[in-house]
Amino acid sequence: QSVLTQPPSVSGAPGQRVTISCTGSSSNIGAGYDVQWYQQLPGTAPKLLIYGNSNRPSGVPERFSGSKSGASASLAITGLQAEDEADYYCQSYDRSLTGSGVFGTGTKVTVL
Amino acid sequence: QLQLQESGPGLVKPSETLSLTCTVSGGSISSSSYYWGWIRQPPGEGLEWIASIYYTGSTYCNPSLKSRVTKSVDTSKNQFSLKLSSVTAADTAVYYCARHSWVGWEYYFDYWGQGTLVTVSS
């Protein structure tokens, strides 16, 4: 029941830049709620990558950046590396469902 | 360093109740700044928020699961728990517990447990 839509997959060669979109609505991202991004490596728990639309937690490389505009958000990975191959999820809050943290559909990033 | 650890049976029979506990170490579950949540991920699928609880006992739940979910917190043990009743095969998933911030416009999960696979099968 994901309410945030992401492309199923994106790919790029090492060193390239890739972007992942996250489209929401007027009850979540468009209402002004922050967007977060999580990286999930195979067989592991999700890891917070970006919070508050564009902030990186300590230890997250600068090649990961986030932005938000209107009811959408984007995650950019510059200088793509082999270890970036993972699933990425956006996440926000939806005011139509009190207390509800909503996740995106997820995007698989493949490093060619 | 804050750590969260899920515990509970890995196999539950259909129609029975799934019970999970999350033990928090390296920090207090009674922190006024954070909520504590449950998220699940069916095999090969995406993430689904299940429920969140505050140390005072205030709770929030995904409407699609609300009728089957019971949440609780035990501050003396630094634990919080989830019960999901009348399970079916569709409830088979990796269940994660996580800490989350919920202030103003921000709502995010910053610390996660490693996850525990719960399989519903007879």
Distances (CA, A) of A3 to A18, A48, A60, A70, B17: 23, 19, 26, 15, 28
What rounded mean pLDDT belongs to chain A? 95
* Residue A54 CA from chain centroid, whole number: 10
Q: What is the mean pLDDT of residues A17-22?
A: 98
Q: What is the mean pLDDT of each run of 10 residues along chain B (122 residues)?
A: 95 97 95 92 95 90 92 94 97 97 88 97 94
Taking the Cβ of residue A106 and every Cβ of chain B, the question of whether any pair is shorter than 8 Å is answered with yes
Question: Of B46, B48, B115, which has the smallest distance from its Cβ to A45's Cβ?
Answer: B115
Taking the Cβ of residue B96 and every Cβ of chain A, the question of whether any pair is shorter than 8 Å is answered with yes
Looking at residue A77, what is its pLDDT? 98
A112: which residues sit within 8 A by CB, 6+ positions away?
Answer: A11, A12, A13, A14
User: Taking 90 as the threshold, does the pLDDT of residue A99 lie above it?
Assistant: no
Looking at residue A23, what is its pLDDT? 97
User: Taking 90 as the threshold, does the pLDDT of residue A24 lie above it?
Assistant: yes
Looking at residue A1, what is its pLDDT? 57
A100: which residues sit within 8 A by CB, 6+ positions away?
Answer: A93, A94, B49, B60, B62, B63
Question: Of A38, A57, A101, which has the smallest distance from its Cβ to B49's Cβ?
Answer: A101
Looking at residue A97, what is its pLDDT? 78
B89 burial via Cβ count (<10 Å: 0-12, 13-18, 19+): exposed
Contact A101 B115 (CB under 8 A): no
Looking at residue B37, what is its pLDDT? 95
What is the token pair recorded at A92? Answer: 């926000």
Taking the Cβ of residue B34 and every Cβ of chain A, the question of whether any pair is shorter than 8 Å is answered with no
Closest Cα to residue B50, out of B72, B65, B71, B29? B65
Cα atoms found within 13 Å of the Cα of residue A20, Cβ hemisphere only: 36
CA distance B13 to chain A (A): 25
Question: Of B37, B48, B113, which has the smallest distance from its Cβ to A45's Cβ?
Answer: B113
Taking the Cβ of residue A8 and every Cβ of chain B, the question of whether any pair is shorter than 8 Å is answered with no
B37 CB neighbours in chain A (<8 A) are: 101
Q: Using CA coordinates, name the residue in chain B closest to A51.
A: B108
A44 CB neighbours in chain B (<8 A) are: 114
Looking at residue B34, what is its pLDDT? 92
User: Taking 70 as the threshold, does the pLDDT of residue A105 lie above it?
Assistant: yes
Task: Please say whether the beta carbons of A47 and A32 come within 8 A.
Answer: no
